[in-house]
Every structure is written in structure tokens, then in C-alpha cells.
Amino acid sequence: MTDELVPPTTTDRMNAISRQMGLLFTYARCMNELDFAGSLSGEFRGAQDAGWSTTITAEQVYQELVARLDSDTPKSLPELRIVLLLYSQLAEAGGVYETLKNMMRIIEREPYNLWPFQDLVRVRKAPDRVIGPNANKTFRDLAEHARRIGMSALSEVLETVFRDDIRNGIAHADYILWGDGLRLRRRNGGQVFRLNFDEVSEAIGIGVGFYQTLRQLCMDAMRSFDPSQPITGRFSANPPMSWTVGIDPKDGGFSIKSSSPGPQTTEAFLRQEAINKFLSGRVLAMFTKEGGFQEHDVDFSSSGFAPAETELNDEQYDALLEEIEQNQLWDDHAENVSDGGLLGLSPRGFQWLTSQTDLDTLIGLPENDIVFEEPLARGTPKADK
């Protein structure tokens, strides 16, 4: 008799989502702390009056949705309809998800961008229309971007964190709330589909938990800049110089400012720049000799990563090792300091890999490890009979 696979619970899924997002934040902060700080506020369009950021709406929607889910009263059909509309609104909060997009740009050594999803915008001439991407397009783009930077597990998370079928059905009034659940009619073609209320509740819980995780990661990261910190580095497309990043603990005002007279660098900045270049646009990398074999027992894919792979001839390989020594590019966190195995690289530095334990060390832990301990399917919707 074989053991049956136990499907992951909602809590298991949320902890997997939280870990992958936490790792992205950790890697981005290590590679470019200034662009990391600039990404934390999500949507930002320069100087403007208060009340013109759609992140305000996203936060209001989140609070309204949580309040309804936490209510002990049974959900009537009108109440459940409001919950599903709020869920769909949360999925569409693209201004908030600009944080993730700019974090991924950091990995690719691209500067902070005020309009990170602009290449997804469609422009019509007659009549004049600027059509921003919907949630489906936004999250497909984020999932593909995560795959490009080598975070395959994060990519899988982003593909499913908000259910396309629910959002599409609600957005286009292509659904029926019935006594047995949410019926997705797909009146313009496609197989009809039904989700029972437990499945609907789980989907909503995952979406809310995802938003909550991103929200908490951003808030905690901002608070880590109290007191203000001087940082020498490159912010957006500016040359490297000295900046000050801080948060006002009284009003929560977050600022990045500089009075530097001109370009400046430090040894730490130059070391990180060298590491970032070797990573070749991914969060992890591996280096091998041409025609050679490095003995190891390492499986990146099972850990949810696809590293950049570089094959070098003997001369290039020896030159790389010499550069690592000269510029102190080894990862100080590594326990395996023996000369041998697979040569791996993370944003913290190079490390020898001979086992899966070594790879776990290379991957590291999220700087902020948010753990969900309670099931997220709170306030399970129940339609009135």
C-alpha cells in the first residue's frame, strides 16, 4: 500500500507564498538598497497633492474585505456579492504590485521605474484611450518576470495567487450565486464551472493573505529605516552617490534624499556591483569548467530556482577564482569553505556547493520571515437558502 499525497492546506500555500516573496525582498535589498527603498511605496508618480495614489483605494478595499470576512454573521447573497467584488478589486490593485515589478528589475540591474507596467499599456487612437493592464495581464507579466530572474517557485505562486476565473466572472457579470456555490457561466464560450463555497472561501483567503504579506513586508522594511540610514549607492538611473533613507515614526513619512556634491563609491558598493554583474540578471548563478565535472549533489529546481549557468575554460575559471579572492567576493555566511564542488553565487557572494545543505545556505532565509499559523479560510461564505 502506497502513501497518498496530502494536498497542501491553505496555510501551507500561504507560507510558501510568504517565503518566496520574502526571499525576493531579501535579494533585492542586498543588490541595491536604494532602489529597494524606492520600490516599497508601490505606485509613485512624483510630486502630487495628497489623495491621488490608487494604493489608498487598495488599502481601503483590503480593510473592507477583511472586516467582512471576520464577521461571524452568515453571508447573504448580496453580502457575498460584495465580498467577491472586493476580492476582484484587490486583484486589480496594480499600483501596489508595482513594488514586486521594481524589485524584479533590481535583480536584472535595471533602474527603478516610475511606470514599471507601462509596456503592458494599450493605446487607442480613435477614440483616444489609454488602457492599463488588467489583473490577468499584470500577474502573467509578474510570473514571467519571476521566471526570468530564476525564481521559478515564485513564478508559480504569482500565476495562481488570484483566480482568473473568479475575477473574470465577477468583472463581466458572467456568474450566478446559487445555493451550491459560485457558478461561472462563461456565456461567450468555454466550459461551465462551479466552485463550492469552501473553494470560494479558500481562493479569497489566498488573495487576501498574499496582499497582507506584501503589505507587511513593505511596512516592516520601511520601519527598518528608523533611524535614518546613510547609503552610498545608485538610485534609479543616477550615478552612485551618498543618500539618506528614513521614515518619520510620527507620521510615517518615508523619504529618500541626497545632498551629495557628486558621484561617490565605497568598497561595499563596488563589491556588490561586481557580484550583481556576475549574477547575470538572476538571483542565483553557477559556474562550471568546460568539459569538466564538479562533484556535487545539488538540485536547484527542487528548491524552486533556475540559476544562471556559465561555462568557463580553465584560464577563465582560474581568473574568476583569482578575482573572487582579490575582491573578497566569498559569501561570509557559507559554512562550506573547502575548495571543490560546484561554484555557486547568490547576492551575498560566492560559495562552494557539494550538497543540498550547501544550496540551502546559498539560497538563505528571508530577512523578514512571515509565518501564517492559522487557516485563512475565515468567515466561510454561506449563501442563504
Q: What's the CA gap between 68 and 155, in Å, rounded?
A: 30
| pLDDT at residue 261, rounded to an integer | 86
Q: Kindly report the average pLDDT of the chain as a whole number.
A: 89
Q: Are residues 56 and 174 in the same domain?
A: yes
| pLDDT at residue 122, rounded to an integer | 80
Place 194 in a pLDDT band, splitting at 50, 70 and 90.
very high
pLDDT > 60? residue 81: yes
> Under a CB-based contact definition with an 8 Å cutoff, are residues 330 and 350 in contact?
yes
User: Could you tell me if residue 170 is inside a domain?
Assistant: yes
Q: Are residues 292 and 164 in the same domain?
A: no
What digits encode the pLDDT tens for the residues 202-246? 999 999 999 999 999 999 999 999 999 999 999 998 999 999 999
User: Could you tell me if residue 379 is inside a domain?
Assistant: no
Q: Are residues 233 and 195 in the same domain?
A: no
Looking up cell 549607492 gives 233
User: Could you tell me if residue 369 is inside a domain?
Assistant: no
Three-state secondary structure call for residue 73: coil
Average pLDDT over residues 79-84: 94
User: Could you tell me if residue 130 is inside a domain?
Assistant: yes
Beta partners for 330? 350
> Under a CB-based contact definition with an 8 Å cutoff, are residues 285 and 307 in contact?
yes
Q: Are residues 274 and 261 in the same domain?
A: no
What digits encode the pLDDT tens for the residues 339-352? 678 999 999 999 99
Three-state secondary structure call for residue 59: helix
> Under a CB-based contact definition with an 8 Å cutoff, are residues 12 and 157 in contact?
no
User: Could you tell me if residue 209 is inside a domain?
Assistant: yes
Strand extents, DSSP E, the chain: 122-124, 129-131, 175-178, 181-184, 193-195, 229-233, 241-247, 254-257, 285-289, 308-312, 342-346, 349-353
| pLDDT at residue 123, rounded to an integer | 81
What digits encode the pLDDT tens for the residues 146-156? 999 999 999 99
What range does the domain containing 246 cover? 226-265
Q: Are residues 200 and 274 in the same domain?
A: no
Q: Are residues 355 and 240 in the same domain?
A: no
| pLDDT at residue 335, rounded to an integer | 65
Average pLDDT over residues 3-10: 64
Report the candidate in 282, 307, 312 with the shortest Cα–Cα distance to residue 359: 307
Q: What's the CA gap between 45 and 43, in Å, rounded?
A: 7
| pLDDT at residue 377, rounded to an integer | 44
Q: Are residues 166 and 52 in the same domain?
A: yes
Q: In terms of pLDDT, which residue wins out, 336 or 332?
A: 332
Q: What's the CA gap between 331 and 351, in Å, rounded?
A: 6
Cis peptide bond prior to 127, omega within 30° of 0 = yes
Q: Are residues 188 and 244 in the same domain?
A: no
Q: Are residues 116 and 16 in the same domain?
A: yes
Q: Are residues 308 and 243 in the same domain?
A: no
What digits encode the pLDDT tens for the residues 92-130? 999 999 999 999 999 999 999 998 998 988 887 767 777
Exposure letters 357-376 (e unless 16+ CB within 10 A, then b): ebbebbbbebbbebebeeeb
User: Could you tell me if residue 384 is inside a domain?
Assistant: no
User: Could you tell me if residue 382 is inside a domain?
Assistant: no
pTM: 0.91
| pLDDT at residue 51, rounded to an integer | 73
How many angstroms separate the most distant Cα atoms in the chain?
Answer: 76
Q: Are residues 199 and 289 in the same domain?
A: no
Which of 87-91, 318-322, 334-338 is the least confident region? 334-338
Average pLDDT over residues 186-205: 90
Three-state secondary structure call for residue 80: helix
Q: What's the CA gap between 346 and 360, in Å, rounded?
A: 11
User: Could you tell me if residue 380 is inside a domain?
Assistant: no
Percent of the chain predicted with pLDDT > 70: 90
pLDDT > 70? residue 12: yes
| pLDDT at residue 71, rounded to an integer | 82
CA atoms within 13 A on the CB side of 285: 21
Q: Are residues 157 and 242 in the same domain?
A: no
pLDDT > 60? residue 249: yes
Three-state secondary structure call for residue 211: helix
Average pLDDT over residues 77-91: 94
Average pLDDT over residues 286-302: 79
Exposure letters 264-284 (e unless 16+ CB within 10 A, then b): eeeeebeebbbbbebbebbbb
| pLDDT at residue 4, rounded to an integer | 53
User: What's the number of domains the chain is made of?
Assistant: 3
Q: What's the CA gap between 214 and 216, in Å, rounded?
A: 5
